Structure 1
Amino acid sequence: MEKKKEEKCWSTHVAFLPMPFQGHINPMLNFAKRLVYKGVKVTIAIPLSKAKSIEVDDSKITIELYSDGSEDGESKTIDSYLKRLEEICTNILSKLVENHQNSKYPPIKCVIYSSGIPFVLNIAKQCGLIGASFFTQSCAVNSMYYHVYHGQLITPVQGPQVSLPGLPLLETHELPSVMSISDPDRSILHLVTNQFSNVEETNWLLFNTFDKLEDEVVKWTVKQWPEKAISIGPTVPSVYMKSGPMASKPDSTPYIEWLNTMDTGSVVYASFGTIAKLREDQIGELAWGIKRSNMYFLWVVRDEEQHKLPTKFQDDISKQGLVVSWCSQLDVLTHKAVGCFLTHCGWNSTIEALSFGVPMIAVPQHIDQPTNAKFVEDIWRVGVRAKVDDKGVVRREEIENCIKDVMQGGRREEFRRNAVMWKELAKEAVDEGGSSDRNIDNFIAGL
């Protein structure tokens, strides 16, 4: 009897097939949670290699684990990996559809897949499913990839500037790195532009952004694909959007306990994501720049990167900060002690900081990050971009100055005021009746 009470009457059933990378899985999983809240049954396929790093606190989401070979340390080129992934996705989706034909849940009606694996649409059509492509980067960046795909922007871009519909004037160095440099390995450029290979046949195009954040380029995007392209972001857990900065999270995690002892806005949080591999000299410059700022800090340096830290650095900064190999970024960014985010400007990190009202110091590394950094400084005006020298390294003096500028300088209040504004607009978008919330309702109604 108790079990019956817990069962829910689902309106429909959606499967998720994210690319097997943290930066794709996390936003899609957060979007999945929003669909569940609105009465949609969700099943999401995740590789075994990522299972331990995924936190699913919603028992209503069904997780299907599969092997993509990476848990065995198998190395692949992008092309060979995608070919193998196509075979895997074909098997996974066929199996999911078959398994749920006569299960207690409604049959799967739609598959939401990472835009970087457009071949999933063909598989979905063969299974009689609706296909929805989920774009994990900003509308601004995706619009540039669209123009490259259609031959309207030739790469590598020679410069000095690029003018495109819905976008500010961009310097060559502000473009995604795969567009502005001559690289003999064009596989990544092919990957990001090939997202548009079959968008005309796709039922939906879902963008992890919100209307007011990228107003002009969102309008341009919707004009290209009316009734199909919608903004559904920011895809961050609603509990963080509703609660605001955490005054003091009850948690036994050492870094949270440490943050709980800090004054409001006194800590610099530094993290460069799960993929970026920084040069040893760059990590050294970051280390000494952070130390010289005399600010308290929490710095995430992955285990495989920690050997690049200066000798005895952690002993030298024992009273100033913490270096950890992992943390819950959402818990840190929403903590009252955090005053700014020193970031590589991956889109997930950028939109999380904007959603929680945290000013940024941008140290972009590659792909879409230079463009995101441009918007952080010049469009949203919530922080600064660190300048590189002629060797492509951000020096310690620049790191120190950027930290002091955001945490103490004359523009500190402007950055914080703008960050709070974007936080309020992000919350407005996902609140009931907001632009993203309405778009999600329309998406569900169209299934």
Structure 2
Amino acid sequence: MTESNCSSPVQLQARGIESMESRSSAPSPHLLFVTSPMQGHINPVRRLAARVAAAADPRVTISTAVSGHRRMFPTLASPDEEAVDAAGLLHVPFSDGYDEGFDRSVHDARSYAARARAAGRETLSGVLARLADRGRPVTRVVYTFLVGWAPEVARAHGVPATLLWIQPAAVFAVYYHCFHGHGAALASCANDPARDAVVRLPGLPPLNSRALPSIVAVTSPEQQGYPVLGILRDLFLAFDGDSRPTKVLVNTFDALEPEALRAIMPGLEFVAVGPVVPDIGASPSSTDLSLCDVDASGYMEWLDAQAARSVVYVSFGTVFTASRRQELETLQGLKATGRPYLGVLRKVGGEEGSALDGTDGDGGADDGRQGMVVEWCDQSRVLSHPAVGCFVTHCGWNSALESIASGVPIVAVPQWTDQPTVAWVVEECAGVGVRVAVDGEGVAGRGEIQRCVETVMGDGDAALEIRARAARWMERAKEAVTDGGALERNLQAFLSGL
């Protein structure tokens, strides 16, 4: 996907490179942001990279795998051709060996890490070499956790590297302690059948099993998530070889996670550079990889016709979606509330879908005009719309931060990885939402969805207090990202120390 004009990346490329080369005589730091091709990783990287470029005017380049690059710039003559986006940032892709994208129905997840590492190390090294040959040598690599091999490439080129952690600081702390003496305790707690165990980690409050990322429960290669466990282990153990204090950029803000940001992890120092959320009014392409061909007029006009704070917005993310049964239960629960809803869900068709009582298989507004189901939408625009009063979410960290920054209460329906901990931050730390209870199959039934929506949108004392806290957290988030706020100060301090 390109920027605001989806058909002109080549022209943008020409203008951007010309502009960059004209500054080549001026000494300046050059940060290369390296990330996996997952949307939830690319989006915060692009947003932070744009802030870095605006904050201190260093050179900034973004590099992701070819599969993600071609989604951002689909009209390029070649999928690995360089391009410049509307913010003027150069994108130079590398190959992770899956240029058509990773497909679970075709590819073996167990071999993903090794193949991506081998291909990525070679092709990212080529990116650094080409940039140096142009007189634009990289002076710092900033990388996300699924490309934990990037520092090896940086070191080979004599370049330092910094991790950008795109999940909560609390999740980082849990993973760190998982690989530094607390792995057995975490696995025991996470796998507690009674779900009432707690684990105590240095610098963190006691965490029960529901608050832990699902990865710490993995104990054998046969379990889902084992490859990710291996990637995380390599990432965190690599910190042990650095004799100097290591700074980690974290997409959070001080007021939201004060304990986690100061948790005891020898040799590591957090730099809070969040919340990295879209600027209100930004073009869709600056916030999402999938919006180039999506017409926003239908659902935005529908939202315009709804009363203030009356709409339930539902989205379960882009990669690991909720089960079909969870989607059906969610839709039925929404209908039972009698409240208007906007659902970003997979198409629900066939005999099973016909039971949705008015929502057709192709999406769109139902016959009773209660709800609208779409395949995708511009989430930042939706959450900032005055008609939206609640967000039913899988609790990906990007989505949770966007909701907090917009002052929208949350109904948390976490699935796996960091999402249970995000739900804990939302419910227990910030107090801006409630978490659903699930059955033996991990599904929240329609009655539970209805109960939780009413808990945050109703007229009771609990709902009023949740909405009041959501409004206060929105102000704190605004304070963090405003000019001269914590985000800018922390970012400037980090850049000045490069």
- TM-score, scaled to structure 2: 0.80
Match of 2:464 in 1: 413
Match of 2:206 in 1: 169
Task: Give the RMSD, CA atoms, in angstroms.
Answer: 2.7
Match of 2:81 in 1: none
Match of 1:237 in 2: 278
Shift of 1:162: 1.1
What secondary structure, in the 3-state scheme, does the structure 1 residue paired with 2:93 have? strand
Shift of 1:239: 4.4
**Cα separation, 1, equivalents of 2:177 and 2:246:** 21
Q: Quick check: 182-191 or 320-329, which moved more?
A: 182-191
> 1:272 and 1:72, CA in 2 relative to 1: closer, same or farther beyond 3 A?
closer
> 1:283 and 1:252, CA in 2 relative to 1: closer, same or farther beyond 3 A?
closer
Shift of 1:170: 1.9
Q: Quick check: 315-324 or 348-357, which moved more?
A: 315-324
> 1:253 and 1:71, CA in 2 relative to 1: closer, same or farther beyond 3 A?
farther
Match of 1:350 among 392, 400, 404: 400
Match of 1:271 in 2: 315
Match of 1:108 in 2: 138
The answer to whether the aligner puts 1:254 opposite 2:298 as a matched pair is yes
* Cα contact 2:262–2:270 (8 A) shared by 1: no
What does 1:354-365 align with in structure 2 at a 5 Å threshold?
354-365=404-415
* Cα contact 1:285–1:394 (8 A) shared by 2: yes
Match of 2:483 in 1: 432
**Cα separation, 2, equivalents of 1:332 and 1:312:** 27
Match of 1:65 in 2: 93
Counterpart of 2:229, as a letter, is L
* Cα contact 2:30–2:59 (8 A) shared by 1: yes
Match of 1:317 among 358, 366, 383: 366
**Cα separation, 2, equivalents of 1:320 and 1:423:** 28
**Cα separation, 2, equivalents of 1:70 and 1:108:** 24
The answer to whether the aligner puts 1:380 opposite 2:430 as a matched pair is yes
The answer to whether the aligner puts 1:209 opposite 2:252 as a matched pair is yes
**Cα separation, 2, equivalents of 1:308 and 1:66:** 44
Match of 2:439 in 1: 389
- Give ranges in structure 1 of 5+ residues lacking alignment: 242-250
**Cα separation, 2, equivalents of 1:379 and 1:322:** 32
The answer to whether the aligner puts 1:19 opposite 2:60 as a matched pair is no
What secondary structure, in the 3-state scheme, does the structure 2 residue paired with 1:205 have? strand
**Cα separation, 1, equivalents of 2:53 and 2:279:** 12
| 1:368-392 CA-partner distances (Å, limit 9, x unpaired) | 1112112212221101111112342
Match of 2:332 among 270, 288, 300: 288
**Cα separation, 2, equivalents of 1:270 and 1:219:** 33
Aligned length: 433
Counterpart of 2:276, as a letter, is T
> 1:279 and 1:72, CA in 2 relative to 1: closer, same or farther beyond 3 A?
closer
- Give ranges in structure 2 of 5+ residues lacking alignment: 1-14, 74-83, 283-294
Match of 1:142 in 2: 172
What secondary structure, in the 3-state scheme, does the structure 2 residue paired with 1:390 have? coil
Shift of 1:322: 0.9
Percentage of matched positions with identical amino acids:
35
Shift of 1:72: 6.1
* Cα contact 2:34–2:147 (8 A) shared by 1: no
Shift of 1:112: 0.8
* Cα contact 1:298–1:322 (8 A) shared by 2: yes
The answer to whether the aligner puts 1:179 opposite 2:228 as a matched pair is no
Match of 1:94 in 2: 125
The answer to whether the aligner puts 1:330 opposite 2:380 as a matched pair is yes
**Cα separation, 2, equivalents of 1:436 and 1:191:** 29
> 1:187 and 1:97, CA in 2 relative to 1: closer, same or farther beyond 3 A?
closer
> 1:391 and 1:229, CA in 2 relative to 1: closer, same or farther beyond 3 A?
closer
Shift of 1:419: 1.1
**Cα separation, 2, equivalents of 1:25 and 1:77:** 23
**Cα separation, 1, equivalents of 2:171 and 2:133:** 42
What does 1:9-88 align with in structure 2 at a 5 Å threshold?
11-38=28-55, 39-51=57-69, 53-54=71-72, 58-68=86-96, 69-71=98-100, 75-88=106-119
What secondary structure, in the 3-state scheme, does the structure 1 residue paired with 2:434 have? strand
**Cα separation, 2, equivalents of 1:51 and 1:352:** 24
Shift of 1:141: 1.2
Shift of 1:208: 0.8
| 1:399-447 CA-partner distances (Å, limit 9, x unpaired) | 1111112111412221121112112212222223322222211221122
Runs of 4+ in structure 1 displaced over 4 angstroms?
Answer: 2-10, 305-309
Shift of 1:81: 1.6
**Cα separation, 2, equivalents of 1:153 and 1:94:** 34
What secondary structure, in the 3-state scheme, does the structure 2 residue paired with 1:76 have? coil
Match of 1:129 in 2: 159
* Cα contact 2:406–2:474 (8 A) shared by 1: yes
Shift of 1:164: 1.8
> 1:391 and 1:95, CA in 2 relative to 1: closer, same or farther beyond 3 A?
closer
Match of 1:248 in 2: none
Match of 1:442 in 2: 493
What secondary structure, in the 3-state scheme, does the structure 2 residue paired with 1:125 have? helix
Match of 2:266 among 221, 224, 232: 224
Q: Quick check: 437-446 or 78-87, which moved more?
A: 78-87
- TM-score, scaled to structure 1: 0.88
**Cα separation, 2, equivalents of 1:31 and 1:284:** 36
* Cα contact 2:204–2:263 (8 A) shared by 1: no
What secondary structure, in the 3-state scheme, does the structure 1 residue paired with 2:239 have? coil
What secondary structure, in the 3-state scheme, does the structure 2 residue paired with 1:404 have? helix
